[in-house]
C-alpha cells in the first residue's frame, strides 16, 4: 500500500516541478531594453534632478526609457529598479493591451535626494532593471552611469545634432531659503544703511537703498573674485560649469560672476525684491526690479565688490581713522575731489569713508553692464540665441527649486 502511494505521488511532484521551470515568456521575443538619454552621454547630473524635484511631470527630464514587445494581450508589465547608493527600490507597472505591439515608457526613479545633495566628488553607479510579465521574471538589464558633483551645472548638451540649453538651471543655485540669510539680514540692518528690509513696501528709492545696504554688507564680508568654472566632465558634447552654493560663497568669501549673482539674488529674493540674472558668453551679471510691477530694471555688476577689500582696510586703519598710503591709493580713485580734501583735513571719518567708497562702487556696478545690455537686449528674448539668457528667478520658480 505504501509503495503504491509513493508511485502515484512521484509523477505528480515531477509534473509540478516541470511546470514551475517552464517559462511562459521568451526574453528574445519580448526584446526588453533599457536606455539612458544619449543627450547626457552616460553622465548623471544631480543638479538637474534636484532642481526639477518639485516640477510638474511634464517639465521633468525624462532620462530613462524602457521598451519591450507585448507577448500576449493584456499582459501586466512590472519593472523593478533595485536600490543603489543614489536611489530607492522603484517599481513601475503598466498593462500592455495588444500582443505584438512595442511599448515604450519613461519611468521616474525614486531618488535619494539627501544623498544627491552631498555629492561633492564624481563617481559611478550601477542600476539594475528587472522585467516581470504576469509576475514572471523575464529579463534583467544593467546600466552603468557616471555621476557628477552637485556643483556641476550643465549649460548645454549636444547629441545627434541637437543642442539643448540648460542655463535656466542657474536658478536652482539661488537659495532664498538658506538659514544663514536671516543672520545676514540682521547684520545688514545693524550696519545702519537702512532701518528695515521690506522689499517693495515703500518707494523705489527705498528699494534701491535696500540693495545698496546688501551691497555694503558684501563689501564688509570681503567676498573676492575667484574663478573656478572647469570640471572633470569627460563628455566632449557637454558644456558645463562649477557653481558655488550660497554657503560656500559665504564661508570661503570667494565668488566668480555667476556665484556672486546667485548669492545676491538669494538675499534679494528673501526680502521680496525680484532678481534677474543676465547670462552672456563667458559672463553673467545681475538685474533687479525696483518696483513691484516690474517696470524699472536696474543692473548690478556683482564682481565689482572685489575691487576693494574692506576687511583688509579695517585691519590697516590707525587709531585716528587714517589708512597707510598703499591702502589709501586703492580707495582714493573712488572718492570725489571734495571727499579727498575732507579726508586730508581729517574731516572724513573712516566709517563714512567706507560708505562713500561703497556708494561709488555701487554706482559703477549699476552702469558697468548697461552698454552691453542695451547692445544685446534683443538677444535676451531670442530663443535661438542660446548663449544669451534673461533668467527671471521668480518666473523660473514655477519649475526650478533651490538645490539645498
pLDDT digits (tens, 9 = 90+) for 214-237: 999 999 999 999 876 666 777 888
Q: What is the three-class DSSP state of 289?
A: strand
Cα dihedral 78, 79, 84, 86, rounded to 10, equals -100
CA–CA distance from 206 to each of 7, 42, 96, 199 (Å)? Answer: 98, 50, 62, 9
pLDDT at position 297 is 97
326-340, pLDDT tens digit by residue?
999 999 999 999 999
CA 240 to chain centre: 12
Average pLDDT of the chain is: 92
CA–CA distance from 183 to each of 137, 199, 280 (Å)? Answer: 56, 17, 32
DSSP class of residue 402? -
155-169, pLDDT tens digit by residue?
999 988 889 999 999
Contact partners, residue 363, CB within 8 Å, separation at least 6: none
Question: Can you list the domains of the chain with their CATH numbers?
Answer: 29-147 (2.60.40), 153-396 (no CATH)
Rounded Cα–Cα distance for residues 334 and 331 (Å): 6
Rounded Cα–Cα distance for residues 130 and 161 (Å): 32
Model confidence at 57: pLDDT above 70: no
Rounded Cα–Cα distance for residues 207 and 260 (Å): 20
pLDDT at position 198 is 95
261-320, pLDDT tens digit by residue?
999 999 999 999 999 999 999 899 999 999 999 999 999 999 999 999 999 999 999 988
Reported confidence tier of residue 56, pLDDT bands at 50, 70, 90:
low
Mean pLDDT on 95-123: 96
Q: What is the three-class DSSP state of 115?
A: helix
Nearest to 62 by CA among 115, 111, 105, 95: 105
pLDDT at position 5 is 43
191-212, pLDDT tens digit by residue?
999 999 999 999 999 999 999 9
Question: Phi and psi (nearest 5°) for 331?
Answer: -110, -15
190 and 262 in contact (C-beta within 8 Å)?
no
Kindly state the helix (H) or strand (E) to which residue 329 belongs, with its residue range.
helix 325-332
173-188, pLDDT tens digit by residue?
999 999 999 999 999 9
Mean pLDDT on 128-144: 98
Mean pLDDT on 242-247: 96
Rounded Cα–Cα distance for residues 311 and 395 (Å): 36
Environment class of residue 319 by beta-carbon count within 10 Å: exposed (0-12), middle (13-18) or buried (19+)? exposed
Q: What is the pTM of this model?
A: 0.89
Amino acid at each position: 500500500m505504501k509503495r503504491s502511494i509513493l508511485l502515484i505521488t512521484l509523477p505528480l511532484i515531477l509534473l509540478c516541478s516541470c511546470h514551475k521551470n517552464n517559462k511562459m515568456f521568451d526574453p528574445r521575443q519580448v526584446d526588453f531594453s533599457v536606455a539612458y538619454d544619449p543627450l547626457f552621454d552616460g553622465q548623471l547630473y544631480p543638479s538637474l534632478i534636484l532642481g526639477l524635484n518639485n516640477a510638474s511631470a511634464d517639465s521633468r527630464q525624462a532620462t530613462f526609457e524602457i521598451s519591450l514587445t507585448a507577448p500576449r494581450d493584456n499582459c501586466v508589465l512590472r519593472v523593478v529598479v533595485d536600490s543603489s547608493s543614489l536611489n530607492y527600490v522603484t517599481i513601475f507597472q503598466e498593462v500592455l493591451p495588444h500582443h505584438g505591439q512595442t511599448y515604450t515608457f519613461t519611468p521616474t526613479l525614486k531618488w535619494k535626494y539627501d544623498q544627491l545633495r552631498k555629492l561633492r566628488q564624481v563617481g559611478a553607479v550601477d542600476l539594475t532593471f528587472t522585467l516581470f510579465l504576469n509576475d514572471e521574471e523575464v529579463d534583467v538589464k544593467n546600466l552603468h552611469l557616471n555621476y557628477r558633483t552637485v556643483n556641476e551645472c550643465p549649460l548645454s548638451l549636444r547629441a545627434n545634432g541637437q543642442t539643448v540649453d540648460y542655463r535656466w538651471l542657474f536658478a536652482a543655485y539661488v537659495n532664498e531659503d538658506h538659514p544663514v540669510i536671516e543672520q545676514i539680514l540682521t547684520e545688514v540692518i545693524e550696519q545702519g544703511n537702512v532701518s528695515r528690509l521690506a522689499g517693495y513696501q515703500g518707494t523705489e528709492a527705498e528699494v534701491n537703498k535696500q540693495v545698496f545696504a546688501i551691497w555694503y554688507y558684501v563689501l564688509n564680508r570681503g567676498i573676492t573674485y575667484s574663478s573656478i568654472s572647469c570640471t572633470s566632465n569627460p563628455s566632449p558634447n557637454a558644456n558645463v560649469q562649477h557653481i558655488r552654493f550660497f554657503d560656500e560663497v559665504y564661508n570661503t568669501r570667494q565668488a566668480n560672476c555667476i556665484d556672486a549673482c546667485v548669492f545676491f539674488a538669494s538675499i534679494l529674493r528673501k526680502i521680496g525684491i525680484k532678481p534677474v540674472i543676465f547670462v552672456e558668453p563667458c559672463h553673467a551679471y545681475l538685474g533687479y526690479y525696483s518696483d513691484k510691477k516690474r517696470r524699472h530694471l536696474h543692473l548690478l555688476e556683482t564682481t565689482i565688490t572685489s575691487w576693494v577689500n574692506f576687511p583688509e582696510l579695517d585691519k590697516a586703519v590707525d587709531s585716528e581713522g587714517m589708512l597707510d598710503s598703499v591702502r589709501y591709493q586703492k580707495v582714493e580713485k573712488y572718492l570725489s575731489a571734495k571727499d579727498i580734501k575732507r579726508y586730508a583735513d581729517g574731516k572724513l571719518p573712516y566709517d563714512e569713508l567706507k560708505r562713500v567708497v561703497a556708494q561709488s562702487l555701487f554706482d559703477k556696478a549699476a552702469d558697468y553692464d548697461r552698454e552691453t545690455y542695451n547692445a544685446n537686449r534683443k538677444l535676451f528674448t531670442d530663443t535661438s540665441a542660446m548663449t544669451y539668457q534673461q533668467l527671471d528667478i521668480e518666473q523660473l520658480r514655477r519649475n526650478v527649486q533651490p538645490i539645498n
